[in-house]
Chains A and B, each alone.
Chain A
Amino acid sequence: MEALLKIRNLRIAFGKGEERTEPVRDVSFAVPRGGRVAIVGESGCGKSLTSLAITRLPPVDSSETDGRISFNGAKRSFSGGASSPGLASLRGRGVSYVFQDPSGSLNPVMRIGAQIEEALPPDFPRRDKKRRTVELLARTGLPDPERAAASYPCNLSGGQCQRCSLAMALAAEPDLLIADEPTTALDVTTQRIVLNLIDELARENGTAVLLITHNLGLVAGRMDAVNVMYAGTIVESGPVETVLSAPRHPYTKGLLAAVPALDAPRGALLRDIPGTVPPPDAWPDGCAFHPRCPRAKPECAASAPPLTDCGGARCACFHPFTGGSGDAS
């Protein structure tokens, strides 16, 4: 499949000298046209920064960013500030975002309808704007789209606001929709509705979806490919079925074991990943995951394992699980 978005060796660094930190270091991945790709990891692993780098949104606009990006076949440069024409021109038409906190990403003093009108393509005929806005809201399944268009964000519930921000993201008819934890603040039922909606609308318009989440359960049902990120790098990537049914990296396995499963014996102790993601200025040498890894050996602290092919997926680990029965740890 032709790649819509290709990112090679992305690095994002903040600060200078002693203060310098590099929260994203060497990230490469691709999103095929119309494809559904996920980036998974805990908070503080650099998932959101990676997604913001694609259009150089803050705070990435003030960072030192390096690497190669191509979108729709055209090469663009990460260097230059927020106003650099290369990536900024992708905002809206090329790439739209849906963020975790819908009420925070909507303007609180502007009616929903007016905000969506702003997002319509600039050449959109003025007299059709209102109709189109209501149409977009109706497509997100809001029961009373006219009323929603006339409402302020504070008049709507979290789930309703998230539908509105989805309508706004789709107003610009983007090639790529980036959904950054779009449902973390919503209850499971609304979560399912919003995700189904993203799925459905993306399919209808041929929009590619990049989903950013910490919940592998969401990835398993809907995405084609997954990139697992830890401490600023991708540690495992591949087709969802391959990666989730037989994870190779201990971090991926840890994330999977932490989700309560519906068919596990009741009261089964959940296996958490010991410790937390260290801040970027304290990322350990070698494999960044080794202090939290149950399989770590001395060489893991000495050098960082490269991302290599590993049974249908790619994995950066010196001691990956290989799928045999001896791996039951």
Chain B
Amino acid sequence: MLLEVRGAKVAYRRGRKVFEAVRGVSFSLDKGQTLGIVGESGSGKSTLSKALALLLPFSGGSALYEGRDISAFTRAERARYRRSVQMVFQDATGSMNPRMKVRAALEEVLSVHRPELGRKERASRIAELLDSTGLASSVLEQYPRELSGGQCQRASFARALAAEPSVLIADEPVSALDVSVQARILNLVRDLRERLGISVILVSHDLAVVRNVCDNVCVMHAGLFEESGPAEEVFAHPRTEYTRSLLAAVPDVARALRARREEAAAREARP
């Protein structure tokens, strides 16, 4: 088991007030698996993913990475973990340094995580990264604001992959993108898993998106997992009202057209 989370809690403190955004969740992630975490805004899914990336501390429970508790990590282990677990955010443009060209952003990551690489090797590694994210080499000389939303999101995937992670946490990577670009990013996520064997945690409010790429899914509500299991199972037989309401909210073309036809038929059947 690559990552094993047991009863994890994350709390925000403001003065004496404590707000527990994640109230005890458990899941495990195998190598090469894709796990979807779905829920509405405010359900705690982003807080959980930030804690997994060590951007927030856990306030309870435990998370084991390759069998070791991450809260008991030594400095060196923390550094190694930070490299192995990379994150991609919803707002790609906002998560890139606006004053750095894409080349500089990628080189920075390589100089930290792969300091042994020479200039030539570094250039070929960058070419590889562009290739696996489907970007043209011309983007290297561009600033984030000069890129389209989809290009920028690919660049942030390339940046995350530069560290050669074993886990990639993608927090709503497609919700700000056009549908056609969204399809390309989702295909990219699937490709990363298949080609590089990377485990992916995909956080999203859109169940159709999660269903499309994930093996397992956890439905999060008010800081807890309402249900979890194989994606197929959860989507075919949702057990809780909350999951059903999330499913019903997906704007699905085929379902909407079917409902329209039924409605029209019912209207005609009435005298």
| Residues of A271-294 contacting chain B, CB below 8 A | 271-273, 276
A248 interfacial contact with B, CB 8 Å? no
| Residues of B202-225 contacting chain A, CB below 8 A | 205-209, 211-213
**A191 with B257: in contact, given A260-B186, A261-B208 (CB under 8 Å)?**
no
| Residues of A243-284 contacting chain B, CB below 8 A | 244-245, 254-264, 266-273, 276
Output the nearest chain B residue to A262 by Cβ-Cβ distance: B252
- A192 CA / B244 CA spacing, docked (Å): 14
Choose among A215, A259, A268 the residue with the greatest number of B CB atoms under 10 Å from its CB.
A259
A123 interfacial contact with B, CB 8 Å? no
- A266 CA / B34 CA spacing, docked (Å): 13
Is there an interface contact between A189 and B179, defined as CB atoms closer than 8 Å?
no
Interface of B: prevailing SS: helix
A188 interfacial contact with B, CB 8 Å? yes
Is there an interface contact between B40 and A190, defined as CB atoms closer than 8 Å?
yes
- A255 CA / B181 CA spacing, docked (Å): 10
On chain B, the residues within 8 Å of A186 by CB distance are 41
On chain A, the residues within 8 Å of B253 by CB distance are 216-217, 220, 244, 256, 259, 261
A314 interfacial contact with B, CB 8 Å? no
Is there an interface contact between A270 and B212, defined as CB atoms closer than 8 Å?
yes
Is there an interface contact between A220 and B256, defined as CB atoms closer than 8 Å?
yes
A26 interfacial contact with B, CB 8 Å? no
Write the nearest CB–CB distance from B154 to chain A, whole angstroms: 12
On chain B, the residues within 8 Å of A272 by CB distance are 180-181, 183-184, 187
**A188 with B249: in contact, given A260-B212, A270-B186 (CB under 8 Å)?**
yes
**A262 with B180: in contact, given A190-B41, A269-B187 (CB under 8 Å)?**
no
- A191 CA / B82 CA spacing, docked (Å): 35
B231 interfacial contact with A, CB 8 Å? yes
- A256 CA / B182 CA spacing, docked (Å): 12
Output the nearest chain A residue to B245 by Cβ-Cβ distance: A189
- A266 CA / B40 CA spacing, docked (Å): 22
On chain A, the residues within 8 Å of B245 by CB distance are 189
On chain B, the residues within 8 Å of A260 by CB distance are 183, 186, 206, 208-209, 211-212
- A266 CA / B36 CA spacing, docked (Å): 13
Choose among B40, B150, B235, B253 the residue with the greatest number of A CB atoms under 10 Å from its CB.
B253
Is there an interface contact between B249 and A192, defined as CB atoms closer than 8 Å?
yes
Is there an interface contact between A245 and B257, defined as CB atoms closer than 8 Å?
yes
Write the nearest CB–CB distance from A254 to chain B, whole angstroms: 7
B266 interfacial contact with A, CB 8 Å? no
Pairs across A and B, CB under 8 Å, 20 listed: A184-B176, A188-B205, A188-B251, A191-B251, A220-B253, A258-B179, A259-B253, A261-B252, A262-B207, A262-B250, A262-B252, A266-B231, A266-B232, A267-B190, A267-B212, A271-B183, A272-B180, A272-B183, A272-B187, A276-B148
Closest 3 A/B residue pairs (Cβ) = A217-B251, A221-B256, A220-B256
